[in-house]
Structure 1
Amino acid sequence: MLFSFIQSHDQNHIALRSNDHEITYGALLRQIDDYCARLTDVDVLGLALDNTIEWLLWDLAALKTETVCVPIPPFFTRQQIDHTIARAGITHMLSPAGLQATGQSASPTIPRGTAKITFTSGTTGTPKGVCLPASAMENVAHSIHTMLGNDFAGTHVCVLPLAILLENVAGVYSGLVAGCTIVLPQLGDFDANYSSLHHHLKQNAATSAIMVPELMRALLLQVIKQGPLPDLKFLAIGGSRVDPHLIKQARNLGLPVYEGYGLSECASVVSMNVPGHDRIGTTGSLLPHVQASITDGEIVIHHPGFLGYLGETAPGHHLTGDLGHMDEDGFVHVTGRCKNVLITSMGRNISPEWPESVLLAQPGIYQTIVYGDGDPHLSALIVPTGPHADVSACIASANETLPDYARIKHFRIVAPFTVENECLTGTGRPRRKNILQQYLSPLAVKETPMNFYDQLVAQTAIARAELYRVPQLVDGLQGRISRPTYIAYLTEAYHHVKHTVPFLMAMGSRLPDEKRWLHKAIIEYLDEEEGHEEWILNDIAAAGGDKDAARKAAPNLETQVMVAYNYDYITRKNPVGFLGMVFMLESTSTQIASMGADAVMNGLDLPKSAFTYLFSHGSLDIEHMKFFEKTVNQITDPADQAAIIEVATNTFRLFANLFGAIPHVSEVRDVA
């Protein structure tokens, strides 16, 4: 079936493309036949190559000649590779050194009709061989094409290893059925953090790709810093549960993310969301050829298509080990793994994947494992996205969306989970047992205490998150604003920044004697803040605006309200509360400077002289925040602490109103 589709496409259209090589659909069939001739004496072919056109030619030739193919994932250890060779009886191994005989005989336990054996690393060290016929893989490829249609047939860029079924079958095979151009960057072209992911997708004008959640989170941050990917039409996410808020964040940034669910035993995809038939928070509807039901809360796939595991008889149906349900509209909800369920001392059953997915939707959290079996509350191991990530704030924000029994009460900062330290499988799934053994030993660090600065960050998390949902700020961080919008932002910034020095002076003059120790901090801030409003006026001029007109202009009502609120709070309530405004401005300007200034400068093709105010706050406010943290942690009066939190929370909201009042139409640019 696959080869008939390949033959039906425009034979001059590019089928496969790598860094330095292209093959048309017409040439692809001829080259597959050439490789078929080289498989005459091969019983079981092991494929141990990087993502290349050659990998696919051997794979497709094996499929056409009915030669058993065993892809070797690049993340397998030498011990796992040796186990795979012996278990499957790989007779010939293809590596960068060429095709070589292994001296093995094909395993007698390979079921008749097996086209491919996929070895999954799973959560233990010994891979398990899943035997699949060609029909199972072709059914998946055809069903995906049926659900997506030809509208999404464009350029598919492979970012996962071809040895993983999700890329091999759902990406390549379905792409070939649809007539896509399959682009194959070598995995070696990506570094350990996939920092060049955005580059590869943009350079190749990718219309589709498949990712695991960890890669999507990396791409999301790259889009914020480097700009949108307007050619993308379909970005499939699978491998583990994804929090709905993370998908919404990605879509707000222009990433067309759609969650799916799959199993190796089903030749990868079982269900998927697609444009036009999509429900965030689910893994989509079943593929047309898939039949499934729910038994005692566990997902059961009927007649999954696989022929069994090596050495075992295939069951008539497959108990997945995944918990879930299907709603009345046929959307599949996967809630976790049976074996991972935690039972708290309060008798609550909780799948850790649920709070983990909520935590991973927070921008400051890179990896996490939730634990607490037998404990009264849940705890988490946290790998932050960077040294300045507000982990306390992230946890507080996540907890707002969780019921009390599923909230995180304690956390520990730990080193990243990797394949090398045996905390991840090769496909990026956590090895929970290994992680908990490694980080929860008696020598582990105690739970991180929350000082006042941490409390301030945590208790303002919701208001801060609302600010970063304002369209003007969202588009600004992506560089998708017009020059008039940027000048309008600078104008409003001038009309509140010019009050910073008077604010500080008013605060200092009203401090009671017992709090005069804060004068030293105020004086330091005064020295740093003097004259910043003039920087802004100069930026307006450099951006092509009229700085004199900006100086004389009446600020928007929203700007006036924020200024008036702070004067009122200083004079009528508690002058110490103004430190909440300081916290809001410096934390916000640091984010805007670090993520938005470059994007706006490049998008508007303006000189760096038009960004003096923003760029200065990138490095300046990071140092300010360290000084601020040290200062507020010395404040012990509960009334002062409450005042700082109150002002910070309110000014985040007022600042959001200020941004929302700026005239704005998202700048749409042709970047093809």
Structure 2
Amino acid sequence: MWYFSAAWQQQIALDDGHHQLTYAELAKAVQARQAWLEQQNVSRVALFMDNGIEWVLFDLACQQAKVCCVPVPVFFSAQQTQYLLQASAIELLLVGQVQAEILADTSHPTPFSQVFSQRLDPAVVPHLPLGTHKITFTSGTTGTPKGVCLSNESQLTVARSLASSIGLEQVKHLCLLPLATLLENIAGIYAPLMVGGTVYLASQTERGFQGSRLVEPQAMLALISQQQPNSVILVPELLSFMVLACNQGWQPPTWLQFIAVGGGKVSAALIEQARALGLPVYQGYGLSECASVVSLNTPEADQASSAGKLLPHAQVRVENGELIVSGNLFLGYMNQPESFYPTEFASGDLVRLEDDFLTIEGRRKNVLINSFGRNISPEWVEAELLATQCFRTVMVFGDAQPFCGALLVLLQPDMPHDTIQAVIDKVNSGLPDYAQIGAWLLSSEPLEHIEGLVTSTGKLIRKQILAHFDDRIQGLYQINQCANY
């Protein structure tokens, strides 16, 4: 499936700072893993590894062997990971060194250095659409991840559109996002390899990450300065860190030509500020159900206030303000046969479409998208907090923010703050990191006592509540952002 130009044979395709593979070596390495996978006689393989060369090699080998590849996000909770493995009936789990240590005696060496395997015996066979070659799991707007089934061709179609639209030949791309993130997988690996580029792969420690969060911004900045990439992909939170760093004296490498930002709405003001600081930022928009990117700004076609121009493959229309996508779609959701083989997909996003430029104006429902691009249903986290029997009312917020916050009304008004924090810590321990409560504030009176915040049937009027507490909420994030940098 992958054919590399003869002119690239001696060029570096993959680099992790310790090892490099030329395109000739890449092709042979993928073939070796393809042959090994075929010997295993399995249909579904999960990749549970940190970013690295082996992740890429096995991903490409799965494509060539026509084996369904299921990336396991390193930021999933143990419960979500277990659900992913069971629901997709994984037969072979491939893990890196760190993950092998976690699995202890259950993993076994493979012929490939630093890659271990675990045979699983699924009790059921998943119901998948024909042609499913990758299952990418969303974070799930509730705690249960949703498996999006994709064909190889749908992924490569998007990669080809990106490669032609961005136009960087033999680009050096630094992968900052986890490879289990579909955007980085397609735009950060496939697209660069289609143009003879070099993909640089660094561990989460080298990138300054822990789970889905950036915990050491200086490590990320040092990596960018050291590697001098031409392109990177960011989520909004990483862009905010980069802008802050520039304001504090960090100089972005002059070789950095294209910074794609996606996974959540970014204000035009932040884009303009970033560009004024020397960051060549271009916002895009996509969905897993559309095999990732649908639109993207580029140097040749740019509107900073928009999420970019539709890519060549994209077919869309707007109905009652909502974006409806057709053409290059997913095959359906795993184990949901009623969703199989869709001809169009209702995105849930309210948009404007003018001259093929897409502007995202909001979400149809209450789903929050944090600044790391994770989808969170506030009702899910609220239910977990209310179940403690400590709170009369809870409203979770955090759209376009680095962490979730909570507005709390106590059942016992005299509860000490330390006790409140202990309760929240206990709830957080059962949630994936992107859904945990990072800060909270108290309302001194029940929300139903404040006019316009609650309906007659007791439902929260979220927009009004956010407006009423806006100053305190903004202050909450300002304090924590300053403390965390």
* TM-score with structure 2 setting the length: 0.72
Contact 1:90 1:105 survives alignment (8 Å)? no
CA RMSD of aligned residues (A): 3.6
Amino acid at match of 1:339: K
Aligned residue number for residue 68 of structure 2: 68
Residue 202 of structure 1 deviates from its aligned partner by 1.4
Secondary structure in 2 aligned to 1:195? helix
- SS of the aligned residue for 2:365 comes to helix
Give the alignment of 1:222-621 within 5 angstroms: 222-224=245-247, 225-312=249-336, 313-327=340-354, 329-340=355-366, 421=428, 439=441
Q: 1:171 Cα deviation (Å)?
A: 1.1
Give the match's secondary structure for 2:318: strand
Distance 1:23 1:212 in 2: 28
- In the alignment, the residues of structure 1 paired with residue 365 and residue 401 of structure 2 have an alpha-carbon distance, to the nearest angstrom, of 27
Q: Gapped runs of 5+ residues in structure 2? A: 101-115, 209-214, 373-377, 379-395, 403-420, 447-467, 476-485
Change (3 A) 1:214 1:424: farther
CA contact (8 A) 1:44 1:106 kept: no
User: Aligned partners of 2:9, 2:289: CA distance in 1, in Å?
Assistant: 34
- Aligned counterpart for 1:159 among listed residues 176, 181, 187: 176
Which residue number corresponds to residue 146 of structure 2? Answer: 128
Per-residue deviation at 1:61? Answer: 0.2
Using the TM superposition, name which of 104-113 and 15-24 deviates more.
Answer: 104-113
- In structure 1, list runs of 5 or more residues that go unmatched: 342-351, 361-368, 370-378, 386-414, 455-672
For residues 286 and 126 of structure 1, do their structure 2 counterparts lie closer, same or farther at Cα, with a shift above 3 Å needed? same
Residue 208 (structure 1) aligned with residue 231 (structure 2): yes
- Provide the residue aligned with 1:30 in structure 2: 28
Shift of 1:314: 3.1
Secondary structure at the counterpart of residue 196 of structure 1? helix
Name the CA shift for 1:289/1:380 in 2 (closer, same or farther; >3 Å): closer
Kept in 2: contact 1:303–1:318 (CA 8 A): no
Instruction: Confirm or deny: 8 A CA contact 2:30 2:57 kept in the other structure.
Output: yes
- Whether contact under 8 Å (2:329, 2:344) holds in the other structure is no
Question: What corresponds to 1:145 in structure 2?
Answer: 163
Matched, 1:111 2:134: no
Amino acid aligned to 1:338: R
Tell me if the contact between 1:423 and 1:435 (Cα under 8 Å) persists in the aligned partners. no
Q: In the aligned structure 2, how far is the partner of 1:110 from the partner of 1:438?
A: 41
- Counterpart of 2:32 in structure 1: which amino acid? D
Task: Answer yes or no: is the 8 Å Cα contact 1:141–1:173 preserved in 2.
Answer: yes
What CA distance in whole angstroms lies between the structure 2 residues aligned with 1:145 and 1:384? 30
Aligned residue identity for 1:121: S
Give 1:178's aligned amino acid. V
Structure that is richer in helix per residue: 1
Q: Which moves more between the two structures, 196-205 or 154-163? A: 196-205
Distance 1:311 1:31 in 2: 33
223 and 126 in structure 1: CA distance in 2 versus 1, 3 angstrom threshold: same
Residue aligned with 1:182, SS: strand
Instruction: Give per-residue Cα distances to partners, 1:503-561, cap 9 Å, x unaligned.
Output: xxxxxxxxxxxxxxxxxxxxxxxxxxxxxxxxxxxxxxxxxxxxxxxxxxxxxxxxxxx
Supply the distance in 1 between the matched residues of 2:281 and 2:48 (Cα, whole angstroms).
31
Contact 1:12 1:26 in 2 (8 A): yes
Amino acid at match of 1:164: T
Aligned residues: 384
Question: What letter matches 1:179 in structure 2?
Answer: G
Paired residues of 1:36 and 1:65 also in contact (CA < 8 A): yes
Whole-angstrom distance in 1 between the partners of 2:471 and 2:295? 42
**Which one has the bigger strand percentage?**
2
1:288: how far off?
Answer: 0.6
For residue 218 of structure 2, give the secondary structure of its aligned residue in structure 1. Answer: coil
Cα offset, 1:222, TM superposition: 2.0
Q: Matches of 1:305 and 1:449 in 2, distance apart?
A: 41
From 193, 196, 199, the equivalent of 1:182 is 199
2:482 alignment counterpart:
none
TM-score (norm 1): 0.53
**Larger RCO (CA within 8 A; separation ≥ 6):** 2
1:221 matches 2:219: no
Q: Deviations over 1:590-633 (max 9, x none)?
A: xxxxxxxxxxxxxxxxxxxxxxxxxxxxxxxxxxxxxxxxxxxx
**For 1:223-260, what per-residue CA distance to the aligned partner results, in whole angstroms no more than 9, with x for missing partners?**
33222321100000001100001001100110000000
CA distance, structure 2, for counterparts of residue 180 and residue 193 of structure 1: 28
User: Equivalent residue of 1:15, what SS?
Assistant: strand
Specify the alignment match of 1:79 in structure 2.
79
Which is higher, the Rg of structure 1 or of structure 2? 1
Taking the aligned partners of 1:326 and 1:246, their CA distance within structure 2 comes to 21
